[in-house]
């Protein structure tokens, strides 16, 4: 049932164990002790008692999708063809988790569901610092889900899209870590079969982890049926490479090749194999013979590094590194040579938490509505910014009152926060600790009256939505000292 009053929303939230009655009563008093469910819900979000995702589902009367096992869902953080990924909190320990949920349209697809469960079961056997850990495999109603280690960071694909090529020591360090994880999996008889930049997560502390062993192969003779199913689902890219090289579908050297393409991207900022949604293009083995040499894309790289990546990506598997351990040792030798030359300073900095001056600019976005968050994140990411998110304007101000600043610019949206957003924006000018903070206030065309309330100056400006990318870049450039 859809809650139409604040009282009904409070009751539903408490019944579902999303809210404590005492905290909710305080929020209810904030909106006058009753009335509209939407206004009360926004008060709950502002107080961080629930998230925008949870509020959206409650207002629609949807009680599923809020809990999976002992995980309470906070919001969606990613989506792929087969599954959605959510950030969650463990109801008993309070620890952060990631929950991966198979899309409902595949619930009745025995092959895809079996592969998804296989990913979880396979992942539970792998415990390594450079592999994302799978904690649980479960069923909630008709939904199949995996509970995973939560890694605060971004995929290597996202990282290179924003920053371009990584500096040499850092790229080598990430590859050394990933090869260590792959070596561990291979020693346990598990091949990955879907290595790509979007399946590599780089944490805020610079730790790289392999994710998504959904198409993994193994040498367990008791699991022949699962291996056969995984073979049918292996990626088009792996199948095309193996057709060209004439090897079978669980050869460890295929993983080494595709980890080589990850190294290629990290070192050059450009993919070795151009992205394509056309299966016929991806299934053509000839594309592997047309890869532009890394030395042409990044001529500044030293010869030993070019040779190492070139050997990982050799089209003839006999000339490739034969094991992940061989490749790891070769990368290790490159790292040792850089260390001997004194080129190690950059590798020591966290890959996912570089100072703003050393990377593309970043923005902190304040917005409480889940759908608006997603659209705005995509908008700013396409402009090349790293995006940090929060639902609470006061929380954002607290973070900007410390040094160094968490982002180059604070972007506050009034779309759902309304006057709360304007009050936070105006506080920047009046608070001496916040006065140096550059900020942009996003105002919907239907909220033009809010513009009159906003206090603007050289560091703080208002943007009327919708706004084009070029205009937004110019606006952020005008309030920050770094280029947009």
Residue 292 lies in a domain: yes
Same domain, 268 and 302: yes
DSSP secondary-structure letter at 364?
Answer: E
Angle at the Cα of 229 from the Cα atoms of 228 and 230, rounded to 5 degrees: 90
* C-alpha closest to that of 136 among 184, 217, 65, 69: 69
End of a domain among 131, 149, 167? Answer: 149
What are the per-10-residue average pLDDT scores of the chain (484 residues)? Answer: 87 90 81 79 87 93 92 90 91 93 89 85 90 92 93 89 88 95 93 92 89 61 45 68 81 95 97 84 88 95 97 96 96 88 44 39 87 88 86 85 84 87 89 87 78 87 87 89 51
Same domain, 274 and 183: yes
Same domain, 181 and 205: yes
User: CA 356 to CA 130: how far, in whole Å?
Assistant: 26
Same domain, 294 and 389: no
End of a domain among 348, 376, 395? Answer: 348
pLDDT of residue 277: 75
Same domain, 268 and 313: yes
* CATH number of the domain within which 437 lies: 3.40.50.2300
| 174-177, Cβ contacts within 8 angstroms, sequence gap of 24 or more | 174/200, 174/202, 174/206, 174/208, 174/266, 174/351, 175/259, 175/262, 175/263, 175/266, 175/331, 176/328, 176/331, 176/332, 176/335, 177/129, 177/130, 177/207, 177/208
End of a domain among 43, 59, 75? Answer: 59
User: Quick check: 455 and 426 in contact, CB under 8 A?
Assistant: yes
* CATH number of the domain within which 273 lies: 1.10.510.10
Same domain, 199 and 234: yes
Same domain, 335 and 214: yes
Residue 94 lies in a domain: yes
Same domain, 169 and 25: no
Residue 484 lies in a domain: no
Residue 211 lies in a domain: yes
pLDDT of residue 315: 94
pLDDT of residue 360: 59
Q: How much of the chain is helix, strand and coil, in % rounded to 5?
A: 45, 20, 35
Same domain, 184 and 92: no
Beta bridge partners of 102: 83
Residue 19 lies in a domain: yes
Same domain, 256 and 311: yes
pTM of the predicted model, to two decimals?
0.68
Number of structural domains in the chain: 4
Beta bridge partners of 139: 144
* CATH number of the domain within which 90 lies: 3.30.200.20
Range of the domain at 95: 67-149
Residue 286 lies in a domain: yes
Residue 1 lies in a domain: no
The residues assigned a catalytic role are 194
Residue 379 lies in a domain: yes
Same domain, 333 and 262: yes
Same domain, 187 and 294: yes
């Amino acid at each position: 049932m859809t809650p139409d009053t604040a009282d009904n929303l409070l009751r539903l939230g408490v019944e579902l164990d999303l809210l404590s009655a005492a905290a909710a009563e305080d929020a209810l008093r904030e909106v006058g002790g009753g009335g509209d469910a939407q206004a009360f819900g926004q008060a709950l979000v502002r107080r961080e008692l629930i998230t925008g995702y949870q509020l959206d589902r409650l207002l629609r009367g949807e009680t599923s999708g809020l809990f999976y096992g002992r995980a309470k869902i906070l919001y969606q953080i990613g989506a792929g063809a087969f599954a959605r990924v959510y950030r969650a909190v463990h109801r008993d320990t309070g620890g952060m988790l990631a929950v991966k949920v198979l899309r409902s349209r595949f619930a009745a697809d025995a092959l895809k569901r079996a592969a998804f469960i296989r990913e979880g079961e396979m992942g539970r056997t792998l415990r390594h610092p450079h592999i994302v850990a799978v904690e649980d495999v479960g069923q909630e109603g008709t939904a199949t889900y995996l509970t995973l280690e939560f890694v605060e960071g971004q995929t290597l694909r996202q990282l290179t899209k924003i920053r371009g090529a990584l500096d040499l020591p850092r790229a080598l360090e990430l590859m050394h870590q990933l090869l260590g994880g792959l070596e561990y999996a291979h020693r346990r008889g598990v091949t990955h079969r879907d290595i790509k930049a979007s399946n590599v997560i780089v944490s805020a502390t610079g730790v790289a982890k392999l994710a998504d062993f959904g198409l993994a192969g193994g040498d367990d003779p008791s699991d022949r049926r699962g291996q056969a199913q995984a073979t049918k689902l292996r990626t088009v890219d792996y199948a095309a490479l193996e057709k060209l090289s004439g090897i079978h579908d669980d050869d460890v050297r295929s993983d080494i090749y595709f980890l080589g393409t990850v190294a290629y991207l990290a070192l050059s900022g450009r993919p070795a194999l151009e992205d394509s949604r056309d299966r016929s293009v991806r299934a053509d083995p000839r594309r592997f013979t047309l890869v532009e040499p890394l030395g042409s894309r990044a001529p500044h790289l030293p010869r030993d590094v070019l040779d190492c990546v070139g050997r990982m990506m050799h089209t003839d598997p006999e000339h490739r590194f034969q094991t992940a351990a061989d490749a790891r040792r070769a990368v290790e030798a490159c790292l040792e040579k850089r260390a001997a030359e004194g080129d190690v300073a950059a590798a020591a900095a966290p890959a996912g938490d570089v100072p703003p001056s050393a990377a593309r600019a970043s923005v902190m976005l304040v917005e409480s509505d889940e759908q608006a968050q997603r659209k705005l994140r995509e908008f700013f990411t396409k402009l090349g910014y790293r995006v940090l998110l929060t639902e609470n304007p006061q929380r954002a101000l607290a973070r900007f009152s410390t040094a160094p600043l968490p982002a180059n610019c604070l972007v506050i949206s009034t779309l759902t926060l309304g006057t709360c957003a304007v009050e936070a924006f105006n506080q920047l000018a009046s608070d001496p600790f916040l006065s140096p903070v550059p900020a942009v206030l996003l105002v919907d065309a239907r909220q033009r009256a809010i513009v009159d309330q906003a206090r603007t100056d050289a560091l703080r400006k208002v943007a009327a939505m919708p706004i084009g990318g070029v205009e937004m870049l110019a606006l952020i450039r005008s309030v920050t000292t770094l280029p947009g």
